[in-house]
Structure 1
């Protein structure tokens, strides 16, 4: 049963929340399944869908398609919009706990969640791309359409976004199918998947707008709505939709800057394309980067720090002199940037960026971040101007349009977080006409967006004025799947805001690479002591700060890195399971009736260990079942053993989705090898996982294939050979009659998750 809890904030906790709102929300969701919203905290007008505010509806732009359907872009509040239907960005379980879903559910009253629960009870979870339609409760519309868009990792790769695109297209098509079936006239669609589901906003809105266009452009059969409204309440998303709208619906009207200015004056063709975004003026210029007289010149350098490699870097080196190359070898990097003195250049400082080639993981993210970080560093140093070359169009393999778009997006992102005046110059080599045109087109898109946005800001309406007053005392409102989850989250928050030291025990630390260890190293440069150690099979990090705020700063960054690793493991695991089983990966946890034999039959085993069962959930994962059956045939096992694991709360969902991993439940002492441990009894599980001192304990009941087994020993990473042939090994090892260790997660199938409380 869903649970809600308000956690009050005061003193340093308010400052911590202001600084780490996004990371804190992500951690609470990953570790405890809780969605956090923040009340009474001033985020300096940062757009945040979780802190949903109503705005006066404002139509920005529209087009009528040949089919007669009008498509329009609005800034507005979906909870107060007078249309036939609004679309909710839902999850597969139709649990409306966070973001827009929470706002619509609250405004629509209990009927919204009740009908959703009834549907899932009768039909099971939805699939990504599905859309269902119900009555809208107290909302000022007739219907609400719950649509499930793809959910991506926190920092998705370019490949992950590409794989998600067809799923988002299917979600939009499903929405429009419901519109046709129910003869709806006006429907409001938000940028589903762009918020809590981590779909990058520019890619998300491109897919949504193009999908709507494709569906209705030459629509001939069935009901046609009067208008499809693309609606969001935060300005950055609305502007992104406007950009996509102009690019997708009217590409033939989009002239280059030169074509547009030539219509007005002959001399204008020689002018540099310029656009003002907030306090930042962006100018595109054909020139040599090494000749610029800005405060900062940006270079794009090779990973080996050899400035003579690459045309741009070589030109900068030739102008600056060899002193710059000598400094490069001793200079320390800040992320993907090294700063040096200008030497013979006409600037104050040079920022050398180190991006990676397009085919590599996170290449797009690194290029985008490098531009954004250069701008942040320039502001921190009180510089007023910065010149960029076109980063990545040479040996790194990015297309000219990709680079122009990413660099302009990075500048726009910068303008949302800084109010300082800045001149940004994009300097394109005089003969590189294609790159100049790519940047010119991006500036033109921004100019068109700006021309449709020259209005006074809409008056904001606080939701408290509509649905009764709520106290303005700063607090975090937690919505979780159960009372235990919110209680666990509350305890974690209490420790976070109370102690200046903490220990993290999490074997996902073993998956950290160079990037994570570099970030950990940077944290130690502050007034924080961080110790990383490994003891008896457990990876640990000890954090001690001079103040609570500094300790919390480090703790949140470490926890955020671990959450990112967990999401990546789940994504990789699901891809592998899908490939091996040829089955769509889906996981359900169905709560067992406490009056059933499934529930009562387990009571005595836990009661004998002074544990009270609060909840039993049956795990259904068809893809894991397929792999388990294949493993059973491979090992020639006719039977399996029912066994237990005791796991942290944050791994319940992970195990349900991708099965067992040694990192999720390392025993107190891995005396029989480095595999996946299971206990025959609850008592033995309590002995194996002695670190479980929390109020609530989580057990996974599983069917385990032992096959041909032998006694284990410390240090084994695979079962030992059966005989002299090292290619023939045992299937598992034992540690006496009550402990078994397997080395393949597919040898065990999670069947139940049992939540207990210490008596």
Structure 2
């Protein structure tokens, strides 16, 4: 279950966050797996960050043209956090960390689930390469999907050669987006000027590439397959909108529709929509069985036979016969039976029971059924629901009557509900009369509720509440997978923000991996009123930041932390590549929570309790690639046995050790008396002695239990970077490890140890 915590900002802490801004989100996500969002903070000092504080833009269509295969391409000035389409494209970076520009705006508006889904993708795939795209759910945004796409990234003043080399990558990015539209059978997608903002691709060329690629994609597509109805080129700033208009007029000037459609305006868009409170109602043409909403509504006869009507038959054929078996054995709640989706692309199916139009109270039953479906969807809670035109077939309801009944039920629900939801009326494409009846009703609702009125926007969910006009209290909202993760993130934030100091000390052995780019950044920080000192002592790399202004020092310290997160991600990617070469298994891992009542938990609990520690969480690490490499190492060393040993590590390395195994950078010992390798302790008590730093200050302590191949060992000594040669033999034949007695072993290859458990403890 996700945990939440608010970290208030005021005075110096607010000024620091204003300067450093959403870069904190990236650090907190990388170190603790938590999502940080900001309220009441105006990132004034960083132009690239302040772009996410965009004013609300009333949607304005500038141009429309019809492409091959009936696809309509249009240019809009609008806010992508509140536009109407099946999907929105996010201009993402390779690690899907949504920390600035449009990415941050979409992530903030959509809620923490967007970043969580992105993190899950990165855990499985390491990165999303330039030119590629992936699809996730849209969280609280008014879309079904987000397409995260990585365009080419250039320097602030790119050379002609760099731009020329990046152009085909931008084309590939756009084609990848359109591929995802086809794969997910989306009817519309909103695409911004990818790469033109924070990635510095020249805007005019960007517009030309996007328009030409979209045009060519559908000109060269085979006749078979899915084609969207609408491609929206959407930007909130006037320069981008004008460039898209120019590119369309230049590239598509042969299409006669362009000039004519320009004068029609946004009112003639083919997808009527209206916002009523927190409900966004959409009318669309489509097949109900192909919808990807959270809920699909079906209408079924009283005998529960799914072959009894056109809609239920279509759903059954796509879902499979398992749905018929489930509905036969499922309890009915009111006028609804809920089943799983089987092969449908939704989360649940609501089967409603409505009588023939001549039955007593038939209109009221239809209205109640729609209302009850909405109530149940909100209670679960679901974000979207799709209705067919219930009753217009075999139940013989009048089409205009059904449109009025269903629209009235949605309106009644919307005026009472505080739950944000997208409601779709999905009309079969060839049923023009029914679509026209619903379209007339939608126009009436648009007039009634003045859909274009910004006061009806459901961003806040509290229309008319004067308190919403007050600026929110500045704070960072933390959302994480557990209370422990949240507390660690809060403690780390407090160390920087609660009492800003004129000296910040950062100890992390990944400082040794800083390259030319990182040292250039450190040099720039040195010129801004702070001094940067790097030192390496007792196998520990440290950066000390000092200056007269505590705020400037903390901002510089946070920038160093951001550099470390980047270096560590690159390190993981490189090590994973090595693992792929050495193992036939997929490089993936799981951390499965161990039941506190199990024998393996209780066996370890008593040992830690004797040290004054309580195990609050124990996770079993499963990583088949690491296991395979470990077994190969065992054969290579000729070891028949392993030792169960312990290592104490900082919390932000728990994920890394589970993913790519052990490395000396994670946990240098308090005293490296036996060499410069990877240290392990024979007991948890000994681990407390080997790794002393932070023990008094930390609320939680983290231990890794591992299987270790010590093999033939000898006494270690300071400065060893490899085990010494065996005495009296070939100098190329080395010991397998060194030790500091029975309770300390040092290995020099991380593949000689396999993580078994991550054990999180709290002081009793």
Alpha-carbon distance between aligned partners in 2 of 1:741 and 1:512, rounded to the nearest angstrom? 26
- Once the two structures are TM-superposed, the CA of residue 592 in structure 1 deviates from its matched residue by 4.0
Alpha-carbon distance between aligned partners in 2 of 1:188 and 1:218, rounded to the nearest angstrom? 21
Indicate how the Cα distance of structure 1 residues 544 and 466 shifts in structure 2: closer, same or farther if over 3 A, else same. Answer: same
- Once the two structures are TM-superposed, the CA of residue 748 in structure 1 deviates from its matched residue by 2.1
The answer (yes or no) to whether the contact 2:85–2:190 under 8 Å persists in 1 is yes
- Once the two structures are TM-superposed, the CA of residue 532 in structure 1 deviates from its matched residue by 3.1
Indicate how the Cα distance of structure 1 residues 115 and 39 shifts in structure 2: closer, same or farther if over 3 A, else same. Answer: closer
The answer (yes or no) to whether the contact 2:151–2:173 under 8 Å persists in 1 is no
- Once the two structures are TM-superposed, the CA of residue 565 in structure 1 deviates from its matched residue by 2.3
1:720 matches 2:721: no
- Once the two structures are TM-superposed, the CA of residue 478 in structure 1 deviates from its matched residue by 2.5
Alpha-carbon distance between aligned partners in 2 of 1:151 and 1:686, rounded to the nearest angstrom? 47
Partner of 1:27: 27
- Once the two structures are TM-superposed, the CA of residue 152 in structure 1 deviates from its matched residue by 11
The answer (yes or no) to whether the contact 1:72–1:230 under 8 Å persists in 2 is yes
The TM-score, its normalising length taken from structure 1, stands at 0.59
Paired residue secondary structure (2:486): helix
Partner of 2:741: 736
Indicate how the Cα distance of structure 1 residues 462 and 146 shifts in structure 2: closer, same or farther if over 3 A, else same. Answer: closer
The answer (yes or no) to whether the contact 1:131–1:145 under 8 Å persists in 2 is no
- Once the two structures are TM-superposed, the CA of residue 36 in structure 1 deviates from its matched residue by 2.6
1:127-162 per-residue CA deviation (whole Å, 9 max, x = no partner) reads: 96786677x787655xx235566799999999x999
1:650-696 per-residue CA deviation (whole Å, 9 max, x = no partner) reads: 22233233222111110111111101112222212111110032112
The answer (yes or no) to whether the contact 1:48–1:234 under 8 Å persists in 2 is no
The answer (yes or no) to whether the contact 1:49–1:234 under 8 Å persists in 2 is no
Partner of 2:297: none
Partner of 1:479: 479
- Once the two structures are TM-superposed, the CA of residue 722 in structure 1 deviates from its matched residue by 1.9
The TM-score, its normalising length taken from structure 2, stands at 0.59
The answer (yes or no) to whether the contact 1:37–1:98 under 8 Å persists in 2 is no
The answer (yes or no) to whether the contact 1:40–1:475 under 8 Å persists in 2 is yes
Partner of 2:752: 747
- Once the two structures are TM-superposed, the CA of residue 248 in structure 1 deviates from its matched residue by 12
Indicate how the Cα distance of structure 1 residues 564 and 140 shifts in structure 2: closer, same or farther if over 3 A, else same. Answer: closer
**Structure of greater Rg:** 2
Partner of 2:635: 633
1:758 matches 2:763: yes
Number of equivalent positions = 542
Paired residue secondary structure (2:702): strand
Indicate how the Cα distance of structure 1 residues 479 and 75 shifts in structure 2: closer, same or farther if over 3 A, else same. Answer: farther
Partner of 2:669: 667
Paired residue secondary structure (2:484): helix
Alpha-carbon distance between aligned partners in 2 of 1:544 and 1:599, rounded to the nearest angstrom? 45
Indicate how the Cα distance of structure 1 residues 515 and 175 shifts in structure 2: closer, same or farther if over 3 A, else same. Answer: closer
- Once the two structures are TM-superposed, the CA of residue 519 in structure 1 deviates from its matched residue by 4.7
1:702 matches 2:706: yes
Partner of 1:227: 230
Alpha-carbon distance between aligned partners in 1 of 2:97 and 2:524, rounded to the nearest angstrom? 39
Partner of 1:571: 573
The answer (yes or no) to whether the contact 1:173–1:211 under 8 Å persists in 2 is no
The answer (yes or no) to whether the contact 1:647–1:700 under 8 Å persists in 2 is yes
2:620 corresponds to which of 618, 637, 640: 618
Greater shift in the superposed pair: 485-494 or 739-748: 485-494
Partner of 2:683: 681
1:658 corresponds to which of 649, 657, 660: 660
Alpha-carbon distance between aligned partners in 1 of 2:639 and 2:166, rounded to the nearest angstrom? 40
Indicate how the Cα distance of structure 1 residues 95 and 683 shifts in structure 2: closer, same or farther if over 3 A, else same. Answer: farther
Partner of 1:437: none
Which 5+ residue runs of structure 1 have no aligned equivalent? 254-457
Alpha-carbon distance between aligned partners in 1 of 2:188 and 2:579, rounded to the nearest angstrom? 41
Partner of 1:560: 562
Partner of 1:500: 502
Partner of 2:693: 691
Which 5+ residue runs of structure 2 have no aligned equivalent? 256-452
The answer (yes or no) to whether the contact 1:172–1:212 under 8 Å persists in 2 is no
1:423-476 per-residue CA deviation (whole Å, 9 max, x = no partner) reads: xxxxxxxxxxxxxxxxxxxxxxxxxxxxxxxxxxx9999976445738522222
2:181 corresponds to which of 176, 181, 184: 176
- Once the two structures are TM-superposed, the CA of residue 569 in structure 1 deviates from its matched residue by 1.6
1:8 matches 2:13: no
Alpha-carbon distance between aligned partners in 2 of 1:503 and 1:657, rounded to the nearest angstrom? 28
Alpha-carbon distance between aligned partners in 2 of 1:509 and 1:489, rounded to the nearest angstrom? 21
Alpha-carbon distance between aligned partners in 2 of 1:698 and 1:709, rounded to the nearest angstrom? 27
1:711 matches 2:715: yes
Alpha-carbon distance between aligned partners in 2 of 1:240 and 1:705, rounded to the nearest angstrom? 65
The answer (yes or no) to whether the contact 1:52–1:100 under 8 Å persists in 2 is no
The answer (yes or no) to whether the contact 1:591–1:618 under 8 Å persists in 2 is yes
1:71-126 per-residue CA deviation (whole Å, 9 max, x = no partner) reads: 4454544553333455679999999999988977887799x789979xx99xx968
2:549 corresponds to which of 530, 547, 553: 547
Alpha-carbon distance between aligned partners in 2 of 1:194 and 1:226, rounded to the nearest angstrom? 26
Indicate how the Cα distance of structure 1 residues 686 and 173 shifts in structure 2: closer, same or farther if over 3 A, else same. Answer: farther
Alpha-carbon distance between aligned partners in 2 of 1:582 and 1:169, rounded to the nearest angstrom? 33
The answer (yes or no) to whether the contact 2:615–2:759 under 8 Å persists in 1 is yes
The answer (yes or no) to whether the contact 2:651–2:702 under 8 Å persists in 1 is yes
The answer (yes or no) to whether the contact 1:150–1:167 under 8 Å persists in 2 is no
Paired residue secondary structure (2:70): coil
The answer (yes or no) to whether the contact 2:78–2:235 under 8 Å persists in 1 is yes
Partner of 2:339: none
Q: How does 1:318-467 map to 2 (within 5 A)?
A: 465-466=460-461
Q: How does 1:114-263 map to 2 (within 5 A)?
A: 140=142, 144-145=144-145, 172=177, 175-180=180-185, 184-188=186-190, 216-219=218-221, 220-231=223-234, 242=244
Alpha-carbon distance between aligned partners in 2 of 1:681 and 1:48, rounded to the nearest angstrom? 51
Indicate how the Cα distance of structure 1 residues 549 and 131 shifts in structure 2: closer, same or farther if over 3 A, else same. Answer: closer
Indicate how the Cα distance of structure 1 residues 653 and 461 shifts in structure 2: closer, same or farther if over 3 A, else same. Answer: farther
Greater shift in the superposed pair: 495-504 or 161-170: 161-170
The answer (yes or no) to whether the contact 2:662–2:678 under 8 Å persists in 1 is yes
The answer (yes or no) to whether the contact 2:114–2:136 under 8 Å persists in 1 is no
